[in-house]
Amino acid sequence: MSKKAVLAFSGGLDTSVAIKWLREEYGLEVVTLTVDLGGSNSRDLGKIKKKALKLGACKAIVLDARDVFVRYFVLPALQAGAMYEGVYPLATALGRPLIAKFLAEVAEEEGAEAVAHGCTGKGNDQVRFELALQSLAPQLKVIAPLREWGMNREEEIEYAHKHDIPVEDRKKIPYSIDENLWGRSVECGALEDPWAEPPEDVWLWTKSIKDCPEKSQTIEIGIEKGVPFRINKDYKDGIEIIEKLNKLGGRHGVGRIDHVESRVVGIKSREVYEAPAAVILHSAHRALESLVMTREAMRFRDVVANQYADIIYNGHWFSALHLDLVAYVLSAQRLVTGAVKMKLLKGAATVVGRRSPLSLYQPELATYDKTDQFDHKAAEGFLKIQGLSLKTQSRVQCQIIYGTREIDLASVIPPKLKELTKGKKTC
Ligand code: ARG
């Protein structure tokens, strides 16, 4: 019996070519695995299966994993407030560890010695697949044909023609696109110039401002323990909420993100994302948090959110640190219950109201009218103590602090070796 590899198969050109390549170069039988994580291309799984078999896969497995994806990846990331570099809701990055997990499981079931993916050598996705696999199934060999074969695009197309692999028209879709129900990620083509405005055809889910309705739409989102469960009066599961908000937000042009991003491999790349539901839900969620969490808890929440986003982005999903952070997030989210009102209008989703049974906002403390209960007198002593260190500093150190015009950074930059050894003998 010949050896097998399980290939993560999207149905696109790269992974189609990979089926042939794994068979020819490695002499492997190929089992393909296609995982549907939703999005507009929530795919015709039957068609993809047929294609894989036609291209020579010995078995083609297709999975609708939308529910698992939302429940175990998307909603926890929302609860954690995970946005990479403050703007990217991490749709692609969240999908990879799940696909890697299924790859490892299928490999075990099929008795395969290797798994394969269609990522290149300069992207983030190879990192996510392979770090997840190293953590879950370190015994598996990983093959990355695109990284290994050294073909450029033209050679790849030529190879495809030679092997009867259908090639989609690149002129029709001049970008590299990844998509699931948490968002679309678009790169390459005209987007490679960070100065050029994204052409209108990169956007698929969101209307451009000029085509948005003139009238705003206000929606209420119900949240329990950091998880959305209701839009207006409709109670919904995670998938339904996200799909509904993608539609509603998209209609109002909400969720376009244009970002120059710091990749794991050290390069900056220009990425465009489209994620109406993620944008709406993250801002609603944060607005509710700021109602129920203290200032210190919010600060710490931001620290955790950044760390959590890095973990997802950098491919460390299956790590102890991730689970430690999850424990913190779940504990902190016990307070995050209530509702947020969002107004959607011409590209913006604005928080216009929030309420919670656990709200720390107390009208009798906040008000300036006659019902005010705040102890104004207490501020005097408070300010005396708060100001004490500043007062002392002003008295003792004022000259130095405000008198110095320049701080010379040369004092911390060591000279070059050549300068140090000038005129000296070095043996
Ligand atoms: N830059 C994003 C990330 O690293 C998206 C990459 C997705 N790939 C694509 N073909 N657009 O998560």
Complete DSSP assignment for 296-352: HHHHHHHHHHHHHHHHHHTT--SSHHHHHHHHHHHHHGGG--EEEEEEEETTEEEEE
pLDDT band at 407 (very low <50, low <70, confident <90, very high): confident
Assess whether 299 and 359 both reside in one domain: yes
Q: Give the span between the Cα atoms of 42 and 29, in whole angstroms.
A: 27
- Residue 157 reports pLDDT greater than 90: no
Assess whether 121 and 267 both reside in one domain: no
Assess whether 164 and 53 both reside in one domain: yes
- Residue 105 reports pLDDT greater than 80: yes
- 57: Cβ contacts below 8 Å, ≥ 6 apart: 7, 9, 19, 30, 31, 32
Amino acid 225: pLDDT: 98
C-alpha torsion sign, points 42, 47, 53, 58 = positive
Secondary structure of residue 186 in the 3-state scheme: strand
pLDDT band at 42 (very low <50, low <70, confident <90, very high): low
In a domain, 20, yes or no: yes
Secondary structure element (H or E) that encloses residue 107, with its range:
helix 91-110
Amino acid 41: pLDDT: 60
- 47: Cβ contacts below 8 Å, ≥ 6 apart: 11
- In the chain, the amino acid numbered 340 is V
pLDDT band at 168 (very low <50, low <70, confident <90, very high): confident
Q: Looking at 42, 176, 290, 319, which residue is catalytic?
A: 176
Helices 295-313 & 276-292, crossing angle to 10 degrees? 150
- In the chain, the amino acid numbered 135 is S
In a domain, 426, yes or no: no
User: Of the residues 126, 178, 262, which should be mutated to test ligand 1's pocket, given the most ligand atoms within 8 Å of the CB?
Assistant: 178
- Residue 237 reports pLDDT greater than 90: yes
- Residue 419 reports pLDDT greater than 80: yes
CA distances from 98 to 82, 103, 113, 313, 385 (A): 17, 9, 19, 14, 53
Pocket of ligand 1 (CB under 6 A): 92-93, 124, 176-178, 185-187, 261, 271
Q: Looking at 10, 14, 135, 184, which residue is catalytic?
A: 14
pLDDT band at 400 (very low <50, low <70, confident <90, very high): confident
Q: Last residue of some domain: 134, 160, 176?
A: 176
Q: Last residue of some domain: 321, 341, 366?
A: 366
Amino acid 171: pLDDT: 65
* Mean pLDDT within 154-159: 86
Question: Is 302 one of the catalytic residues?
Answer: no
Query: Distance from the CA of 150 to the center of ligand 1, in angstroms?
Result: 21
| Spatial contact of 290 and 271, defined as CB atoms under 8 Å apart | no
Atom of ligand 1 nearest to the CA of 125: 4
- What are the DSSP calls for 223-247, one per residue? EETTEEEEETTEE--HHHHHHHHHH
Q: Give the span between the Cα atoms of 55 and 44, in whole angstroms.
A: 17
The residue whose C-alpha atom lies closest to atom 8 belonging to ligand 1 is: 178
Query: Distance from the CA of 8 to the center of ligand 1, in angstroms?
Result: 16
In a domain, 65, yes or no: yes
Assess whether 38 and 53 both reside in one domain: yes
Q: Give the span between the Cα atoms of 154 and 160, in whole angstroms.
A: 10
Assess whether 320 and 355 both reside in one domain: yes
314 or 174, greater pLDDT = 314
Assess whether 278 and 354 both reside in one domain: yes
The residue whose C-alpha atom lies closest to atom 1 belonging to ligand 1 is: 271
- Residue 99 reports pLDDT greater than 70: yes
Strand partners, 219: 342
- Residue 116 reports pLDDT greater than 80: yes
Assess whether 164 and 193 both reside in one domain: no
Assess whether 171 and 188 both reside in one domain: no
In a domain, 18, yes or no: yes
Assess whether 292 and 209 both reside in one domain: yes
In a domain, 347, yes or no: yes
Strand partners, 270: 260
| Spatial contact of 220 and 244, defined as CB atoms under 8 Å apart | no
CATH of the domain at 246: 3.90.1260.10
The number of domains in the chain is: 3
Assess whether 250 and 362 both reside in one domain: yes
- 205: Cβ contacts below 8 Å, ≥ 6 apart: 40, 184, 246, 250, 255, 274, 276
Q: What percent of the chain has pLDDT over 90?
A: 83
In tens, the pLDDT along 240-258 reads 999 999 999 999 999 999 9
CATH of the domain at 48: 3.40.50.620
421 or 386, greater pLDDT = 386
User: Of the ranges 43-52, 164-173, 318-327, 339-348, which one carries the lowest mean pLDDT score?
Assistant: 164-173
In a domain, 356, yes or no: yes
Burial class of residue 154 in the structure, from the number of CB atoms within 10 Å of its CB (0-12 exposed, 13-18 middle, 19+ buried): exposed
Atom of ligand 1 nearest to the CA of 84: 12
Assess whether 309 and 164 both reside in one domain: no
Assess whether 271 and 304 both reside in one domain: yes
Question: Is 36 one of the catalytic residues?
Answer: no
In a domain, 371, yes or no: no
Q: Last residue of some domain: 176, 194, 213?
A: 176
Query: Distance from the CA of 49 to the center of ligand 1, in angstroms?
Result: 24
Q: Give the span between the Cα atoms of 273 and 178, in whole angstroms.
A: 10
Parent domain of 390: 379-421
Question: Is 14 one of the catalytic residues?
Answer: yes
In a domain, 372, yes or no: no
